[in-house]
């Protein structure tokens, strides 16, 4: 297939999408923000405990309210985060060379005024990291694995909230 015919097929597919009512979940269309983006700006995110909870909260703040939190929030997002770690590859001398980290976030979207539950869910992420002889390298690898898991969880929560707000329209 030549590049011209590929371009024509892509153009035809795009024209089909415009007629079917396709609407971006997070983006803009015809100068208006999507319902999800508008509602995200009205969410207050509760503090989430320890350091990994702070990292998760900051990631959610970047994804949901990048222009700052609302002065008068309509919603409150509560999150509980747990972490587990296990060694996967153990050598004959009982040294581990690979570890698995699993983060689980239970979240609940509530009304800000009376705390009535609107939506709840659970987001999980599992990452792995190598264990080497350097303690500094191990701490750095573990921190990076935790950061990757937190980013994945924050993206999952954002998507679930967007789908919730989209379904309410």
Higher pLDDT, 29 or 46: 46
Q: Which domains does the chain have, with CATH numbers?
A: 3-167 (3.30.160.150)
pLDDT at 32: 42
Query: Average of pLDDT values for 74-90?
Result: 89
Residue pair 75/111 in contact (Cβ under 8 Å)? The answer is: yes
CA distances from 103 to 13, 42, 67, 77, 156 (A): 39, 26, 27, 18, 13
Residue 21: band (very low, low, confident or very high) from pLDDT cuts 50, 70, 90: low
User: What whole-number distance in Å separates Cα of residue 40 and Cα of residue 77?
Assistant: 10
Residue 31: band (very low, low, confident or very high) from pLDDT cuts 50, 70, 90: very low
- 110-166, pLDDT tens digit by residue? 998 998 999 999 999 999 998 888 999 999 999 999 999 999 999 999 999 998 988
Does 7 have pLDDT greater than 80? Answer: no
pLDDT at 167: 82
Q: Would you call 22 helix, strand, or coil by DSSP?
A: coil
pLDDT at 83: 93
Higher pLDDT, 33 or 125: 125
- 34-66, pLDDT tens digit by residue? 677 888 889 999 999 888 999 999 999 999 988
Higher pLDDT, 161 or 69: 161
pLDDT at 30: 47
Radius of gyration of the chain from its Cα atoms, rounded to whole angstroms: 21
Does 90 have pLDDT greater than 80? Answer: no
Does 101 have pLDDT greater than 90? Answer: yes
């Amino acid at each position: 297939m030549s590049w011209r015919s590929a371009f024509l097929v892509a153009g035809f597919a795009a024209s089909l999408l415009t007629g079917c009512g396709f609407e971006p979940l997070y983006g803009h269309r015809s100068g208006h923000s999507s319902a999800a983006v508008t509602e995200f700006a009205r969410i207050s995110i509760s503090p989430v405990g320890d350091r990994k909870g702070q990292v998760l909260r900051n990631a959610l703040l970047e994804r949901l309210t990048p222009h700052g939190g609302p002065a008068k929030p309509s919603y409150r997002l509560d999150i509980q985060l747990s972490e587990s770690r296990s060694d996967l590859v153990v050598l004959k001398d009982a040294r581990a060379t690979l570890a698995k980290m699993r983060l689980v976030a239970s979240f609940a979207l509530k009304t800000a005024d009376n705390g009535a539950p609107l939506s709840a869910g659970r987001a999980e992420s599992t990452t792995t990291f190598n264990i080497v002889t350097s303690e500094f390298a191990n701490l750095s690898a573990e921190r990076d694995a935790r950061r990757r898991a937190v980013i994945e969880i924050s993206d999952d929560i954002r998507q679930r909230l967007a789908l919730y707000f989209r379904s309410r329209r």
